[in-house]
Amino acid sequence: MKEKQMNRFSGTMNRRTFLQGSAAAAAGIAAGSLFSGAEAAAPAGSPFTLPELPYDENGLAPVISARTLQFHYGKHHRGYMKKLNAFIKGTEYEGMNLARIIKVSSKKPGDTAVFNNAAQFWNHTFYWKSMSPSGGGAPPEMLAAKMKDCFGSVKECMAAFAKAAGTQFGSGWAWLVLDGGSLKVVKTSNADTPLAHGLKPLLTIDVWEHAYYLDYQNRRADYIKAVLEKRINWKFAYANMK
């Protein structure tokens, strides 16, 4: 792996510090986009509603069980949505689209609760799209070429992704992102998201314990390996590059 791809993000990103250097990259993510690339625009206004899963509850089994999805999607994801709607009611955020709420609240220390729930609502929606029942395998040719250019090989890129997910201390996320024209792997703590830092997310892996504990207990590495080998949605990542 090319160490330069991880140096800038060897620890968890700090929202306040990193934003100062991200203005140029921020232009690459439209404020109205829930997903980058080919995905639909974020719903504007509130109350927000829970997006449907892109597969049924058994769609990711046996890598991720229906029982995990019932709790993770049905309770955790839904819970972030409900709290977000409650927090923004009657505030400046009411009527904003989701990405705009994340970006504005990320700069206001007094609005941490708004940021956390908006970001977690966004992160989870992006996470479901980052997996597919027919996932895994080889990335599309152009994505693979980019991975080789930035990391040396597809294998090294996947190893960096797995390392970021496995070494995130406590709750958080691992991401494959575009920073300008460069493909990078980063990790964020708790609710933090590359969207707040002017980076363009391509894929994510959720490493909060509720994402895997019912199926894997404390074996986070096994969960990460199974997702990357059997369920990661390279087509989604490639669509987000465009």
3-17 tens-digit pLDDT: 433 433 434 444 333
Count CB-CB contacts under 10 A for residue 189: 16
Domain that holds residue 97: 1-242
Average pLDDT, integer, range 81-109: 95
Does the pLDDT of residue 33 top 90, yes or no? no
The number of distinct structural domains making up the chain is: 1
CATH number for the domain that contains residue 137: 3.55.40.20
Average pLDDT, integer, range 152-160: 97
Average pLDDT, integer, range 66-87: 97
Question: Three-state SS for 189?
Answer: strand
Please return the burial class of 68, using the count of CB atoms within 10 Å of its CB with bins 0-12, 13-18 and 19+.
buried
Percent of the chain whose pLDDT exceeds 90: 80
Which are the contacts of 118, defined by CB distance < 8 A and separation ≥ 6? 84, 88, 93, 98, 101, 102, 105
Cis peptide before 140 (omega within 30 of 0): no
Does the pLDDT of residue 41 top 90, yes or no? no
The beta strands (E) that lie in the chain are given as 172-179, 182-189, 200-206
What does DSSP say about strands 172-179 and 200-206: parallel, antiparallel, or unpaired? antiparallel
| Average confidence score pLDDT of the chain | 86
pLDDT for res 36: 42
Instruction: Report the distance separating Cα 12 and Cα 192, nearest Å.
Output: 9
pLDDT for res 45: 60
pLDDT band at 134 (very low <50, low <70, confident <90, very high): very high
pLDDT for res 242: 86
For residues 172 and 46, the model is more confident at 172
